[in-house]
Amino acid sequence: MTTESFDEAYEKEIELQRELEKIEIAYAQVREKYSQFKECYSFIDYLRTIERVFMESKVRSWNADKSKDELIRAEIAMSASESQLGEELFSSIYEDFRKTSQDVGKVAGAVRILLDKNKGCVECCEFILYAENIFMNFQGIRKGGMKISDLKEKLIKARMNVLACDGHPEMKLLENIFKEFRSLIL
């Protein structure tokens, strides 16, 4: 096992900060451009968050479990701020989920139990389904069937489908926001 020299670690940190700054600039520009579409703010926030997590994962060489946990922790923070339910509730659901779904075979059972336990809370059920999606997709990465870049794209498209399911906002608008955001960070 080799240890990273101070210079290497410093260069990685500088690279990470540059990339995170690009994400923040893209976020600000896209949010300003689409300011008349308040219903898209949560999607723009999601793009910023997911890009930050994946960038940190890449630069810091996180393993799949660390990346999965960070994605879910980011979702906990976003869900709590959007719903005003508090991070403790979503963290508690996630801990229950982790305890009961250590392998793919148990994920479906854990999801059913948690959905039943939280059926009165729409935001909680949405979070449970998001966590299930993350767990299942990370299994694809572990098995070598999916690349991390494919996962990011899949998660973003899934979020777009959920947001546009009732036609407001329109899928085309979300696709345009995504394309513009992505072009600004590349």
pTM attached to this predicted model: 0.86
Closest CA to 137 of 59, 79, 72: 72
Q: At what angle do helices 104-117 and 87-100 cross, to 10 degrees?
A: 140
Q: What is the pLDDT of residues 17-61, one digit of tens each?
A: 999 999 999 999 999 999 999 999 999 999 999 999 999 999 998
Share of the chain above pLDDT 70, in %: 95
User: Residues 158-163: what's their mean pLDDT?
Assistant: 88
Q: What is the pLDDT of residues 128-151, one digit of tens each?
A: 888 888 888 887 777 777 777 788
Could you state, in order of their start, the residue ranges of all structural domains in the chain? 7-185
Q: What distance lies between CA 61 and its chain's CA centroid?
A: 17
The more confidently predicted of residues 179 and 124 is 179
Q: What's the CA gap between 129 and 135, in Å, rounded? A: 10
First to last CA, the chain: 33
Whole-number pLDDT of residue 139: 78
Q: What's the CA gap between 25 and 184, in Å, rounded? A: 8
Q: What's the CA gap between 87 and 124, in Å, rounded? A: 11
The tokens for 44 are 């723009």
Q: What is the pLDDT of residues 97-106, one digit of tens each?
A: 787 766 666 7
